Amino acid sequence: MPAIQRKNASSDKRTWKIHLSVESRKLGIPSSWIKKLLTQVLHHVESDIAIPEVCEIHLALTDDARIQVLNKEYRNKDKATDVLSFPQFHPKEISGRSRRRVDAPGPYLGDLVISTETTLKQAKEFGVTKREELARLVVHGVLHLCGYDHEKVPAADAQRMRRRERYIRSRLVVR
């Protein structure tokens, strides 16, 4: 009986197209570093994405004023926040748990919006670097795009998201 040949793990990875909009440059982190970070995170969540066509994401770095407008418009919360996620798919669709076959409406996983001002405030508050805090927010936001939640779910599901966040962050190269 012939041995089963495994594909090279690196060849299994998707080629991600990252759209980065930098509306606020307060972090002072190069766009190339942000794209590398996001690519690392996306490769860690590929197993959570059942739709093979999904290979694009948009990340916007903005300020507190702009994210507050978006938070009020989409979540009815009139305050700034650190990260907003706008998923393209329902959690059951993206995970493959949907009873119906999902025809991807496009290659987008979704959109992330991160406030650079809040990122800087939280980095100082948590005693971490701005890159570490940005990495935390990117991981958190991407997991929301992949169907994870921590607010409107049972405690076990919220804990599952927190464990997944810690696991991914522990494997990132953040320099």
Domains defined for the chain, CATH in brackets: 15-95+105-170 (3.40.390.30)
pLDDT average per 10 residues of sequence, the chain (175 residues): 33 84 95 96 92 91 98 97 93 75 73 98 97 98 94 89 96 84
Q: How far is it, in rounded angstroms, from Cα 22 to Cα 109?
A: 19
What is the pLDDT at residue 12? 63
Of 64, 79, 74, 72, the residue nearest 24 (C-alpha): 64
What is the pLDDT at residue 4? 29
**Helical segments of the chain, H only:** 31-45, 64-75, 91-95, 116-126, 130-145, 155-170
Q: What is the pTM of this model?
A: 0.88
What is the pLDDT at residue 154? 85
Q: How far is it, in rounded angstroms, from Cα 129 to Cα 169?
A: 14
Helix (H, G, I), strand (E, B) or coil at 145: helix
What is the pLDDT at residue 120? 98
What is the pLDDT at residue 100? 62
What is the pLDDT at residue 9? 40
